[in-house]
Chain A
Amino acid sequence: MIDTVPPRRHHAHARVSLLEYGRFQVDVGTAEFGNGTTTVHAQLVATALHTTASQVVVRQADTDLLDHDTGAFGSTGTVVAGKASLEAAQELAHILMGLAAGITQVPTMRCRLTAEGVDCDGTFLSLTSLFSLGVERDIRLSAEGSWGGTPRSVAFNVHGFRVAVNLGTGELRILQSAHAADAGLIVNPMQCRGQIEGGIAQALGAALYEDVRIDDDGAVSTRILRQYHIPTFADVPRSEVYFASTSDDLGPLGAKSMSESPFNPVAPAMANAIKAATGVRFTSLPLARDTIYLGLKAAADTEGATRKPTRL
């Protein structure tokens, strides 16, 4: 379980504007580093403005764009910054409908925002013409949104492994890796799955072999990637990824955070699977092959016989 936002406030501001050729621009503070929030912003804004994400241009991570943004950490890219951009887009939708309604003298209730423009009970005003009308009338077709990161919700992850351990050598094989996540109503399933798979892979490295070692003089002795192995293609099993079917009352359009938390259940699931296979409880990470070998040997030595597996 993880709270969807860190405590003591996390702020985001966003601005959504209509551009000259009928596209939209969203300004956000969050940086893009593979977390996928850029796509999420485009999708949330597109949904609020009844268009597709390809019509939304995202500008980001520049202190000149907006007043403030706490930043992309604590799993906040979607649930805090996304909420700000969604609010801005919803406000801009109101402004566009209001402008169209005013020009056509059709009540706003009978106006409908579409991907091309506003349909005012049969009279159609394209986004391009609305942009020109905005300029003519000196109306800023731009809206701002913000979110202060409270109240917060909770997201959940569960991981399961089936592993095989060679009692003679300590070799570990992952036979099955399954992960379930409760990320609310998912904005982009492909991308969210990628976040989860990446979290599992990084956590497998930490669970099984990654170790920054310090020598007796206090210096880091694992100084290059050849001494500090991170998971390669060959090291990572294909995980089954499942999503709980929920929709969050607090997140943007039902979504919750899902960037840090897939990491967390991996190591204990692995340790518990190894215990189930061998009867030996390993209490120190990483669970490298030599650690498993020595642990099994020590257990066998104390008990005088190889333990029976607890489950086959």
Chain B
Amino acid sequence: MTFEPVIGLEVHAQLLTRSKLFCACSAAFGAAPNAHTCPVCMAFPGVLPVVNRQAVEFAIRAGLAAGCRIAPVSQWARKNYFYPDLPKAYQISMYEAPICVGGRVSFTVGGEHRAVRLTRIHLEEDAGKSIHDAHADSSLVDLNRAGVPLLEIVSEPELGSPAEAAAYLKSLRSIVQYLEICDGNMEEGSFRCDANISVRPAGGDRLGTRAEVKNMNSFRAVERALEHEIARQIAVVSGGGQVVQETRLWDAEREVTRPMRSKEFAHDYRYFPEPDLPPLVVDEAWVERVRAGLPELPSARRVRFVRDLGLPDYDAEVLTARRDVADYFEAAAGGQPNAKAIGNWVMESVLRIVRERRLDDPPRIRDWPVAPEALADLVALIDRGTISGKIAKTVFDEMVASGRPPREIVESRGLVQLTDAAAIAAAVDRVIAAHGDKVAEYRSGKEKLFGFFVGQVMKATEGKANPKQVNDLLRERLRG
């Protein structure tokens, strides 16, 4: 019997608000332990939560981008459990009445466009961090993260493979980055994902018993963990066994999932409506204001790049994955005839330098190695035949190093392509004269030597000769 997996993802996206969800403490990452705390996020007696309006607006932004219904009235709820990094011993979340309902996220997998429906998006506060390995006999608690706003984005269980799950996740990350509400950093945990997985006989309509997998810290980990978990469940079911409903942890080093807690030990979170906060009211005017301020989303932009700029599907996908990259590309390609070439330069050269020099500060590239207008000028120089593609690489490196405009570099360093037919002919003739023996060999059938002659001519012209003219002329003269 063949089996098919059914996957649903729960994503937690940390929001890029300045302050925490319910108090004025900074939500920034990386401060000294417990530097960003106050009586509210440390749950001192008598303190009360006050909702961060910006966080609500970010949730609305995400909801609109994913085509959710924005609930006019939603309700905060308490999720109760004891843990030292949860100071109130409850997390303020949303339960029965989330702020965003429904919606869908499209993604591309194997060149095919697909979409997954969302169940809901809601707001909640993050917990602090427990540090277990700093001391042998005690654990430490850092409450800087306690109260930082999170968006929980829950998909329907309808992803059919680990590849689809990863593609959906990438698309979702791209969206939250476009919206500038989350930096999408999986390694630092600002974009986290748990998966619910079950398997069933292929084509079946009933869901099997699911396991939840946690602790996947990269797209690769998500794919690997899901592959492993699907194989494990299929082995269990094929062997006549039953999948146990439980939570499992992905061990990235050993590449296995391990049980964390079973259903019998599952927490009873005793959810109930948060009495310290009135229902969250979002009126239509607010929703419309947010809608008016939404940026063009990656999927729409991809379609436009293909349609209007003539980019291949793949290039459009890569160039629209991040808003800042797409913005940069568009600034360079706007009004230029050769958008495809500019796209190649962005993907191959510009982003390489960004990576090498660590200029990326997700969701924003801090510093671009060359201005988009300068990149457009460079491509124009190639298109007009002023420089060759080969020389252009040298010019680009020089642009990055000095910040000078490409035309100036080309002129000052005499890199203008040699197109004067007489001058090229002279060089070709000199090379033929100097290598009589090789000419004879070539003419007797050793055509591989053609490259040698091209090399010699380029050398003689310091690489500036127009390669097509060199080729044509050499072929003619060698024919004898």
User: Do A and B come together as binding partners?
Assistant: no
Report which B residues bind A (CB closer than 8 A): none
Report which A residues bind B (CB closer than 8 A): none
